[in-house]
Amino acid sequence: MEEKWKSFFKPHPYQSKAAAFLKYLGPGLLVTVGFIDPGNWASNIAAGSQYGYALLWMVTLSTFMLIVLQHNAAHLGIVTGKCLSEATTEYFRPWIRNVVLFTSIAAAVSTALAEILGAAIALNMLFHLPLKIGSVLVLVVAVVLQFTNSYKKIEKIIIGFVSLIGLSFLFEICIIHTDWGAAAVGWVTPSFPNGGMLVIMSVLGAVVMPHNLFLHSEIIQSRQWNLQDESVINKQLKYEFTDTLVSMMIGWAINSAMILMAAATFFATKTPVTDLTQAEQMLKPLLGNAASIVFAIALLFAGLSSSITAGMAGGSIFAGIFSEPYDIKDKHTKVGVLLTMIPATLIIFLIRSPFDGLIYSQMLLSVQLPITIFALVYLTSSKRVMGKYANSKVGKIILVTIGLIVTFLNIALLISSF
């Protein structure tokens, strides 16, 4: 009888698999918050308000690129036990290493600028704090959180923030008037509207962010699996891809929802957007007069949480220069965090137009992106680095094609600027 009851309460195989995946879930969502941030909000609102549904294809293309690249970065971390910065330091010549890592730190600073500025805008909406004072306050809070929290604590906070933001936007597209036919065409049909390259590149830079590739290769190691056991590596690679795929698709849905709402709210009424605070109008059909408060709180959560991930990425990159992993107790990691967060805050003091500052910060990420992509492809395609887990020929072709597309778009942006 006892054996009968033991078998009755024994977990079903599918339940065991689900429990294992849920235990592993986290790194992908931590990265997802990096592209559901104030910079994304500004880029998506600009795309939807200026071009309607025409630039939805860029979210689709960027998300596909993101899935491939983030999986590849995590692949590097799982197999080698090194983050992208450590591997770059070890396997590249000094001058190449310096170009890759120092431009990546600059990209992390650009990212942190958008996150801190977005949170400061939220504080201004909620408490009428001047942007400069709000920026310093966000800087202090974000640095304290990074210097005192572990990975798991930060993951839980950030996943909660992403859930709040995502539910707000996804729910509202169910009640606003959306031209789903035009949206369906926009998702799959490349379009280059006149004067649209800056916004196109800002959407790309807001989704496929260089610092997130460094961050994912680092935080994937926080699970501390036994990398000497081949079966453990294979299981981790499988769960990592599922985690990445699910997390990035959530990001695609939320970013798409932002453009859909901006198209329905601003483009349909030919209302120009020059300030991120105008975006509160997108929530009015759902929340009425409370829209500005809910929008500001969500923006504050997005800015604060993504400021943390930007600082973590900067710490990881700088520590990697010294062949060290991210460790907030180590001085190199702390210096990297501060080198990312403090200059970003100082630059905010020089910005005249906060909305334009957000757009240009995301565009600058896309300019650095090819450098990080080709460095990542080289490392993950090398048998010296990855052994038998090196990229296949098909994998290499896909990754190089992504790098070439991003390079082409950057050249197109440069040409359109003259």
Specify the pLDDT at position 298.
Answer: 77
Specify the pLDDT at position 35.
Answer: 61
Structure tokens at 13: 């195989």
Rounded-to-integer distance, Cα 82 and Cα 76, Å: 7
Specify the pLDDT at position 58.
Answer: 95
Specify the pLDDT at position 163.
Answer: 67
Give the type of residue at 388: K
Per-domain residue ranges for the chain?
Answer: 45-416
Rounded-to-integer distance, Cα 35 and Cα 306, Å: 8
Please count the CA atoms within 13 angstroms of the CA of 114 that sit on its side-chain side: 35
What contacts 324, CB < 8 A, 6 or more positions away?
A: 86, 330, 332, 333
**What average pLDDT values come out for the chain (418 residues) when binned by 10 residues?**
41 49 54 70 91 96 92 90 94 96 96 93 92 96 83 62 68 80 95 92 89 84 56 69 81 89 88 80 69 79 84 95 92 96 96 89 91 97 95 96 94 82
Rounded-to-integer distance, Cα 55 and Cα 134, Å: 32
What separation, in Å, do the N-terminal and C-terminal C-alpha atoms of the chain show?
A: 82
Kindly state the DSSP code that residue 384 receives in the 8-state scheme.
Answer: H
Helix 393-416 and helix 197-207, axial crossing angle in degrees, nearest 10: 140
Phi first, then psi: what are they for 173, rounded to 5°?
Answer: -65, -15
Structure tokens at 381: 């395609």
Rounded-to-integer distance, Cα 83 and Cα 106, Å: 18
Specify the pLDDT at position 12.
Answer: 46
Kindly state the DSSP code that residue 142 receives in the 8-state scheme.
Answer: H
Specify the pLDDT at position 228.
Answer: 57
What contacts 157, CB < 8 A, 6 or more positions away?
A: 145, 149, 305
Which fold would CATH assign to domain 45-416? Amino acid/polyamine transporter I (1.20.1740)
Specify the pLDDT at position 96.
Answer: 95
Phi first, then psi: what are they for 99, rounded to 5°?
Answer: -60, -45
Specify the pLDDT at position 3.
Answer: 46
Give the type of residue at 135: S
Specify the pLDDT at position 89.
Answer: 96
Q: How many helices (H) and strands (E) does the chain have?
A: 19, 0
